[in-house]
Amino acid sequence: MTFKTKESRLLLILGSFFVANAILSEFIGVKIFTVEGTLGIKPFDINLLGVPNLSYNMSAGVLTWPLIFIMTDIINEYFGVKQVRFLSVLAAILISYAFFIVGGAMKLSPSDFWVNQTIEGQPLNMNVAFAGIFGQGMWIIVGSVIAFLVGQIADVFIFHKIKKVTGERALWLRATGSTLISQFIDSFVVIFIAFYLNPQYHWSWQMVAAIGLVNYTYKFVVAILMTPALYLVHYIIDRYLGKDLAQRMIKMAGR
């Protein structure tokens, strides 16, 4: 099989970008950053559901998740439900595979000359650093993979439900609306599995709900801000495919 047609090349590009960002988000997600600190403002110190001093401490994985959901909606728009589901399952399998390979790499005996390094003037045990960055707990891995799949299924379902009502109009409504709802689900599923069900932690449901709500407000704002990017990608694809082919693909995808 060769990728000679515009449709096949487009699916290859979108699918590759989708899977790459899904895997990348899992590995950069180990870093927790402060949104307020990054923006140079004071922490909000939110009190919610009896949980004090909450602020926007987010996983760095949120950098790529908006892109993943844009790709989800674009693939959904032009190629339909089956292609999105296939790519979602493929991404989940490849994420699991990546963690399996990383787990094997962590068990390799490090070379003596490599272990002790000086990075930016600071002594660093490279083997400990490697394990600390890549060695995410099994509960977090399982939680993130399940949250990814559940979020994708919800996104696809809601996207097409809205499209049945709006038709070809209001791309922003079906794309942003489906993203907002699926991100809401994703925000709570991963925290519930990784920190509520995990016996290593003793998080109350109030803490799960409070942190999930705070995280979701960040994702809500980002999803709204990314709406123009969705239209830009849509415009670029329409120019690449041509108006007639783009309309035929959108019509076929909706069946």
Q: Record the tokens describing residue 191, joined without a space.
A: 């925290």
Give 118's contacts (C-beta < 8 A, 6+ positions apart). 124
Strands (E), the chain: 32-34, 46-48, 51-54, 57-59, 116-119, 122-125
Bridge partners for 116 per DSSP: 125
Q: Tell me what pLDDT residue 2 has.
A: 61
Phi, psi (degrees; rounded to nearest 5) at 125: -85, 105
Decide: 158 and 146 in contact? Cβ < 8 Å: no
List per-residue pLDDT tens for the chain, 255 residues long.
Answer: 566 788 889 999 999 999 999 888 888 888 888 998 998 998 888 888 888 888 888 888 888 887 888 888 889 889 988 898 899 999 999 988 988 898 899 899 999 988 998 888 888 899 988 888 887 767 778 888 888 888 888 888 888 788 777 777 777 788 788 888 888 888 888 888 878 887 777 788 888 888 888 888 888 888 888 888 888 988 999 999 988 998 888 888 766
Token pair in block for residue 61: 């994985």
The angle at the Cα of 171, spanning 170 to 177, to the nearest 5 degrees, equals: 95
Amino acid at 202: H
**Helix, strand, or coil (residue 241):** helix
Provide long-range contacts, Cβ within 8 A and 24+ apart, for 33-39: 33/57, 33/58, 33/60, 34/58, 35/218
Give me 68's structure tokens: 């993943």
Tokens representing residue 151 in the block: 């979020």
Tokens describing residue 199: 């016996």
**Is the distance from CB of 89 to CB of 97 less than 8 angstroms?**
no
In this prediction, residue 3 carries a pLDDT of: 65
